[in-house]
Amino acid sequence: MTAAASRIFCAVDTTDLAAARGLAGRLAGLVGGLKLGLEFFVAHGPDGVRAVMGSDGPPLFLDLKLHDIPNTVAGAVRAVLPLAPAFLTIHASGGPAMMRAAVEAAAAAGPGRPRILGVTVLTSLDDGDLEAVGQAAPAAAQVERLARLARECGLDGVICSPNEVAALRRACGPDFVLMVPGIRPAGAAAGDQKRVMTPAEALAAGADHLVIGRPITGDPDPAAAARRIAAEIAGDAP
């Protein structure tokens, strides 16, 4: 696998178990890991995750966006530890006690624990959406506020849009993981994402990992799409 490809987590957003397994097989060795989210987990649970990832699959990004009282979130983190996810998400807006509870629960897995990432502001939201729910701060300011809080609470990193990557890298330092959705290769449609950037632009800004879904999964040849995106990142695209 190329260094460029290793930065990509493919978002497998489906409830079709057979399709998810087939996609995982076609992308083997072409992406750095797979993201399975709430839609898939609700449909198939831990057994479905195991069926897709296999015993020697790529790193798992389990994107459940947990958000509840601290005790419940801690229990949920402990419940997914047997799946050995490399990354697990919680909502940073759940507050300091909830975030610390998640970190403490993850630590029970020892050195192979999942890295806990905080969801800041969903990439489907913009300033107008935040104002509608009573958050007057611009999206970028809210993202930085939550990212700083997440770091203080012991989280390993955050999910953020490409537009906030550079600011968060400055604010939170070089070792804070920035997992970045809202990635669209050159020429791709934005879809329902309002804050987007190309893969190369996001990495240049300081992203660690890129979450890419439909540009790969919606392509008639997902493997070819993954190769094209890796080439674009590496600067080898035609």
Quote the CA–CA distance of 160 and 202 in Å, as a whole number: 11
- Please name the amino acid found at residue 125: L
Nearest Cα to Cα of residue 181 among 155, 205, 199, 206 = 199
Give the C-alpha separation, 33 to 215, whole Å.
16
Paired residues of 119 in beta bridges: 91, 159
- Between CA 20 and CA 49 the distance in angstroms is 10
The catalytic residue among 65, 100, 115, 145 is: 65
Query: Which DSSP string corresponds to 153-210?
Result: TT-SEEE--GGGHHHHHHHH-TTSEEEE--B--TT---TT-SS-B-HHHHHHHT-SEE
Q: How far apart are CA 4 and CA 98, in angstroms?
A: 34
- Residue 162's closest CA among 214, 119, 204? 204
As a whole number of angstroms, the distance between CA 16 and CA 215 comes to 18
Assess whether 65 carries a catalytic annotation.
yes
- Positions annotated as catalytic residues are 65
